[in-house]
A = this chain, B = another copy of it.
Amino acid sequence: MTGSDIAAAPREAGGDLVRLRLDVAYDGTEFYGWATQPGFRTVEETISNAWGVILRSEPPNLVVGGRTDAGVHARGSVVHLDVNDARLQTLRNRGSWTAEQAARQRLKGVLPDDILVKHVSRAPKGFDARFSALHRRYEYRIADSVPVRDPLRRRDTVNYDVKLDVEAMDEVAQTLCGLHDFAAFCRRREGATTVRTLLKYRWRRDEAGVLIADVQADAFCHSMVRALVGAIVRVGEGKFTAETVKEILLARQRDSRMTVMPAHGLSLEEIVYPPDHLVGQRAEEARATRSLPGPTSQGA
């Protein structure tokens, strides 16, 4: 990234704004999800307040690439925010650290230990954490027998009392990939499309025997990942066939046989962006599409 790629941000009284990218991980157990809700502990408000403290300013607005519901975790969330560059530079008080490195270190001192800002960097020109994203990747963890359970992973692994057939699950999951109307798997929202491209949906067991779903899409509608997991778990216990799942998808409406799996098995693992010189173009395209109204990245 060269200097000229740095986001040009509007001036405000007191100096230029600079756009920062944050790479963020959190244990969602004790949060009411990402989005600020008055009276609830949320990830968004906690991070915004921490920036307010270290910059001695009003808490800045944050834009996230993947909103998560209450109890959902993240290992690879991405956020952008615009801050006053002069204030940011005042953080440079240690040797050769950049202001961004200093900010990360200061945040560590202010944030609770269930949120980690892994990286703070200047965003490339035109970067938007939400609209520049190409796709999102989630994982879902299920322990389907007592011996594979681990009390140390109880916060991010769902216990299931029936032994599941991972081969069947993996096979049927893959048939859901492609461009479809996922209305059967989405919580309905007025005026929002439920058409998405599911890029990858695989199931495997890790070395400890825990079932792991790897789910990737351009974007997800609300509760979509947890409903996709619920459908395939039914396959794993022999209650749904490949045909049942196909039927449900093609019906394009919420199905009473559908189960939305618990939040705490789900983690936002990664948000993928194009190369720096294309993030602005990607954001413009996505904004244009979504004003149709098109897909949103909100609420997996």
Best-buried of A26, A119, A149, A151 by chain B (most CB within 10 Å): A151
CA distance A116 to B154 in the complex (A): 10
CA distance A279 to B25 in the complex (A): 47
Contact indicator per residue, chain A 1-36, by CB within 8 Å of chain B (1) or not (0)? 000000000000000000000010111000000000
Interface membership of A254, Cβ < 8 A: no
Contact indicator per residue, chain A 107-123, by CB within 8 Å of chain B (1) or not (0)? 01000011110110000
Residues of chain B within 8 A of A113, CB atoms compared: 151, 154
Interface membership of A292, Cβ < 8 A: no
CA distance A27 to B154 in the complex (A): 9
A115 in contact with B151 (CB, 8 Å): yes
CA distance A287 to B25 in the complex (A): 49
Q: What is the interface of chain A, defined by CB distance below 8 A to chain B?
A: 23, 25-27, 73, 75, 104, 108, 113-116, 118-119, 146-147, 149-156, 267
- Known pairs A25-B152, A116-B146, A119-B147; list 4 more (Cβ under 8 Å): A25-B151, A26-B151, A116-B149, A152-B156
